[in-house]
């Protein structure tokens, strides 16, 4: 994204370092991410958008310059492959989980995806990794009901834009009210459970809201697979938001979602990294998320 941008390569380095420092890396099975195909991108994005953004990415790759699509979101020489691998990781993880090759999967990817709408790149996002994977599970594997959980501090406006009104998908999220992208207050479909929360809300209040508003809907919906937009920028140390979550809160959320998946979805979860910009907090929170997913 360019010099000094919070959505930086060090985010994945910090996660990798933490996994090695804690010994978690030994217990996990690592896979390389393939590039997503255009047909996979088209499950969530318009043909015009996919053609235009790929064209811009290819031109930047050739010229080696940066190209801003909005004040926060820049295409660099590596963006084409990074964005295609981020979406490709989510699709490959979905295949692996649905074919029983792994119990669940976490995609340590960047750029993130949940702000990418059907036809717009924004908020550091180009392709909506989670929406692409959810549609892949429905359209390529024949599932009938999947859930998307989004616990990033920012509203997943792109995912909502793509999935609102698609009753094969139930999306549950919380996010800081009156924060970028300043949306989500009024859900765009009956399949959306949007919980805007005020700045400085802490873990206990979030847990109570989840118990009250997410879990009954998930129990009733009985998703056959669960996708997680795993943003860790609701952490109290993260300066891109003002919520007060800590590692234990992310672990608790993961446990509750995992319990739903075990009851209804044969444990099938694909989680994709979204935000999280305080490097230490991000790394520790991801490690906690993975410990719960991997039952370590």
Measured distance CA(213)–CA(195) in Å, rounded: 8
Least spacing, CB of residue 253 vs Zn ion, in Å: 15
Choice between 169 and 240, CB closer to Zn ion: 240
| Residue sitting closest to Zn ion (CB) | 275
**Phi, psi (rounded to 5 degrees) for 278:** -85, 105
Residue 2: φ, ψ to 5°: 105, 165
Provide, rounded to whole angstroms, the least separation between the CB of residue 57 and Zn ion. Answer: 22
Which of 176, 179, 279, 266 is closest to 226 using CA atoms?
266
The pair of structure tokens assigned to 179 is 């924060």
Judged by CB, which is closer to Zn ion: 231, or 244?
A: 231
Q: List strand residue ranges (DSSP E) for 178-268, in order.
A: 192-197, 226-230
State how far the Cα of 44 lies from the Cα of 162, in Å rounded to an integer: 6
Catalytic residues: 115
- 176 three-class SS: strand
203 or 275: CB nearest Zn ion: 275
Give the residues lining the site for Zn ion (CB under 5 A). Answer: 152, 154, 231, 233, 275
Residues with Cβ within 8 Å of 199's Cβ and at least 6 positions away in sequence, in order, are 176, 177, 178, 179, 241, 242, 243
DSSP state, residue 144: S
Quote the least distance from Cβ 44 to Zn ion, whole Å.
18
- Give me the least distance between CB of 241 and Zn ion, in Å please: 7
Least spacing, CB of residue 274 vs Zn ion, in Å: 6
| Closer Cβ to Zn ion, 43 or 115, answer by number | 115
CA dist 24 and 18 (Å) reads 8
C-alpha separations of 139 from 127, 134, 252 in Å: 18, 9, 31
């Amino acid at each position: 994204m360019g010099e000094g941008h919070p959505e930086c390569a060090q985010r994945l380095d910090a996660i990798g370092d933490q996994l090695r420092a804690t010994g978690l890396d030994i217990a996990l099975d690592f896979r390389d991410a393939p590039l997503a195909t255009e047909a996979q991108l088209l499950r969530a994005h318009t043909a015009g958008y996919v053609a235009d953004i790929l064209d811009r990415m290819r031109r930047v790759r050739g010229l080696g310059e940066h190209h801003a699509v909005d004040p926060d979101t820049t295409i660099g020489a590596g963006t084409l492959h990074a964005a295609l691998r981020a979406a490709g990781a989510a699709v490959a993880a979905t295949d692996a989980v649905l074919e029983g090759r792994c119990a669940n999967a976490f995609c340590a990817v960047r750029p993130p995806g949940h702000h990418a709408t059907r036809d717009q790149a924004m908020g550091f996002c180009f392709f909506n990794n989670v929406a692409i994977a959810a549609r892949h599970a429905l359209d390529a594997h024949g599932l009938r009901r999947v859930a998307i959980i989004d616990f990033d501090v920012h509203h997943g406006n792109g995912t909502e834009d793509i999935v609102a009104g698609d009753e094969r998908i139930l999306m549950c999220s919380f996010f800081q009210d009156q924060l970028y992208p300043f949306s989500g207050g009024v859900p765009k479909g009956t399949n959306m459970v949007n919980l805007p929360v005020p700045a400085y809300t802490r873990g206990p209040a979030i847990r109570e809201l989840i118990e009250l508003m997410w879990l009954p809907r998930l129990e009733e919906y009985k998703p056959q697979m669960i996708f997680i937009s795993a943003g860790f920028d609701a952490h109290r140390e993260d300066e891109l938001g003002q919520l007060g979550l800590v590692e234990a809160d992310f672990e608790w959320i993961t446990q509750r979602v995992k319990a739903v998946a075990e009851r209804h979805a044969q444990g099938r979860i694909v989680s994709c990294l979204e935000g999280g910009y305080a490097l230490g907090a991000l790394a520790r929170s991801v490690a906690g998320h993975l410990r719960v997913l991997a039952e370590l």
